[in-house]
């Protein structure tokens, strides 16, 4: 980052759930790393929400990221959050889409930032989906930052490949990149997306709307979750950390709350009553079950803790965050 008092920020996927939320948090704070946010470009295929577009600091760059390199290289961004991606379900259904939307787009962005020549700080949103049970190498019971990822989905593979690109562009001095692996973000508002993890939001969100939801895995299935607020905090901490504190070019596993699906429903009952819980029906889905089983649930988060990042304290607080911040906006 240039040592000026103002920064120009790029958020790719800036119209998505996480991108919009990150944009709002940064615009509300008005600063990152003590420097004020002068300008923010939201890059996405879809248009961002009206409240973002009406902020005088915000510009919208519409288009497919892989084809935006030339345009973006003419801007000297100081901080870039790269959130744009095709999600796990899409990538598994359409292999070519995943290669294009995740690998080619990231390469296009990295080339644009390299061509700009001002060595911006780049935060790449990687994913817990880099981990999985390889047939020859089962995951250890506890995942550390130095655990070898053996992705068992195209999405996870593509995220892990992008981590490697970000690390090498950084080593070469083209930019200052940092990869942060997001946990499954719960509770997402709005319609279910094509992520295999989508049900982990649906089984809370739909009952709170008085609607029914299907849980495709058994109650004893353990998962690693983080609330939207903690996820934003992780991305911003990764951007603000001094290089030494971030600790090298290996991706950072953001902190996770480990919880069983049954315990999530206990928390739903505690917060919203027995009737809410009874709106969730169990119906086994072998495809989703296989995905979820292949994700790790228990993390050692010492490195994240050194950056001041801790998991959500419990699941009722995650549900209350959703009710407070998103429920009214979240008609399904």
What positions carry a catalytic annotation? 155
Candidates 118-126, 144-152, 202-210, 214-222: pick the segment binding a copy of itself (CB under 8 A).
144-152
Q: Give the one residue of 102, 105, 150, 227 binding a copy of itself; rule: CB under 8 A.
A: 150
**C-alpha to C-alpha distance for 160 and 156, rounded to whole angstroms:** 6
Candidates 80-88, 115-123, 133-141, 225-233: pick the segment binding a copy of itself (CB under 8 A).
133-141
Q: Give the one residue of 28, 50, 56, 135 binding a copy of itself; rule: CB under 8 A.
A: 135
Q: Which residue has the tokens 């399904």?
A: 332
- The b-or-e profile of 154-177 (16+ CB within 10 A means b, else e) is bbbbbbbbbbebbbebbeeebbbb
| Smallest separation, CB 125 to a copy of itself (Å) | 18
Q: Which of 239, 193, 189, 220 is nearest to 284 (CA)?
A: 220
Ranges within 61-120 binding a copy of itself (CB under 8 A): 95, 99, 107
Q: Which residues, 6 or more positions from 56, have their beta carbon under 8 angstroms from its beta carbon?
A: none
| Smallest separation, CB 75 to a copy of itself (Å) | 22
- Please state at what angle helix 199-208 crosses helix 315-325, rounded to 10 degrees: 60
**C-alpha to C-alpha distance for 6 and 123, rounded to whole angstroms:** 18
- The verdict on 242 binding a copy of itself (CB under 8 A) reads no
Q: Which is nearer to a copy of itself, 172 or 274 (CB)?
A: 172
| Smallest separation, CB 36 to a copy of itself (Å) | 30
Q: Which is nearer to a copy of itself, 188 or 249 (CB)?
A: 249
Q: Which of 81, 110, 240 is nearest to 172 (CA)?
A: 110
| Smallest separation, CB 147 to a copy of itself (Å) | 7
Q: Which is nearer to a copy of itself, 19 or 89 (CB)?
A: 89
Element (H, E) at 113: helix 105-116
In 168-313, where do the E strands start and end?
A: 176-182, 184-185, 213-215, 222-226, 252-253, 257-260, 280-282
Candidates 151-159, 200-208, 227-235, 309-317: pick the segment binding a copy of itself (CB under 8 A).
151-159
Candidates 128-136, 223-231, 282-290, 304-312: pick the segment binding a copy of itself (CB under 8 A).
128-136
The rounded radius of gyration (Å) of the Cα atoms in the chain is 19
Q: Which of 96, 128, 89, 93 is nearest to 294 (CA)?
A: 128
- The verdict on 160 binding a copy of itself (CB under 8 A) reads yes
Q: Which of 185, 182, 187, 230 is nearest to 329 (CA)?
A: 187
Q: Which is nearer to a copy of itself, 146 or 328 (CB)?
A: 146
The first and second tokens of residue 177, run together, are 């990149």
Candidates 77-85, 245-253, 260-268, 276-284: pick the segment binding a copy of itself (CB under 8 A).
245-253
* Cis peptide bond prior to 9, omega within 30° of 0: no
- The verdict on 300 binding a copy of itself (CB under 8 A) reads no
Q: Which of 75, 1, 5 is nearest to 41 (CA)?
A: 75
**C-alpha to C-alpha distance for 267 and 93, rounded to whole angstroms:** 33
- The verdict on 136 binding a copy of itself (CB under 8 A) reads yes
Q: Give the one residue of 117, 248, 273, 308 binding a copy of itself; rule: CB under 8 A.
A: 248
- The verdict on 134 binding a copy of itself (CB under 8 A) reads yes
- The verdict on 161 binding a copy of itself (CB under 8 A) reads yes
Q: Which is nearer to a copy of itself, 167 or 232 (CB)?
A: 167
Binding site for a copy of itself (CB under 8 A): 95, 99, 107, 134-137, 145-152, 154, 157, 160-161, 164-165, 167-168, 171-172, 246-250
């Amino acid at each position: 980052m240039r040592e000026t008092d103002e920064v120009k920020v790029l958020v790719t996927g800036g119209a998505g759930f996480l991108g919009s939320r990150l944009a709002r948090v940064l615009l509300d704070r008005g600063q990152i790393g003590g420097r004020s946010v002068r300008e923010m470009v939201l890059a996405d295929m879809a248009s961002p929400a009206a409240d973002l577009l009406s902020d005088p600091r915000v510009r919208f760059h519409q288009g497919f990221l892989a084809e935006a390199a030339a345009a973006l290289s003419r801007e000297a961004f100081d901080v870039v959050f790269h959130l744009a991606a095709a999600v796990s379900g899409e990538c598994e259904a359409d292999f070519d889409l995943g290669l294009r939307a995740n690998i080619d787009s990231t390469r296009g962005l990295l080339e644009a930032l390299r061509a700009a020549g001002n060595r911006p700080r780049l935060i790449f949103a990687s994913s817990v989906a880099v981990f999985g049970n390889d047939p020859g190498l089962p995951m250890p019971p506890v995942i550390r930052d130095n655990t070898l990822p053996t992705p068992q989905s195209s999405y996870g593979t593509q995220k892990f490949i992008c981590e490697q690109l970000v690390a090498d562009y950084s080593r070469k001095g083209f930019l200052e990149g940092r990869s942060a692996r997001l946990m499954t973000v719960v509770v997402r508002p709005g319609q279910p997306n094509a992520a295999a993890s989508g049900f982990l939001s649906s089984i809370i969100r739909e009952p709170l709307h008085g609607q029914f939801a299907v849980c495709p895995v058994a109650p004893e299935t353990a998962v690693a979750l983080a609330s939207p607020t903690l996820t934003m905090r992780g991305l911003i901490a990764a951007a603000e950390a001094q290089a030494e504190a971030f600790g090298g070019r290996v991706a950072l596993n953001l902190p996770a709350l480990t919880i069983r699906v049954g315990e999530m429903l206990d928390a739903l009952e505690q917060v919203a009553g027995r009737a809410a819980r009874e709106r969730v029906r169990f119906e086994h889905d072998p495809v989703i079950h296989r995905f979820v089983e292949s994700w790790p649930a228990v993390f050692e988060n010492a490195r994240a803790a050194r950056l001041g990042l801790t998991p959500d304290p419990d699941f009722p607080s995650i549900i209350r965050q959703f009710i407070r911040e998103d429920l009214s906006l979240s008609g399904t």
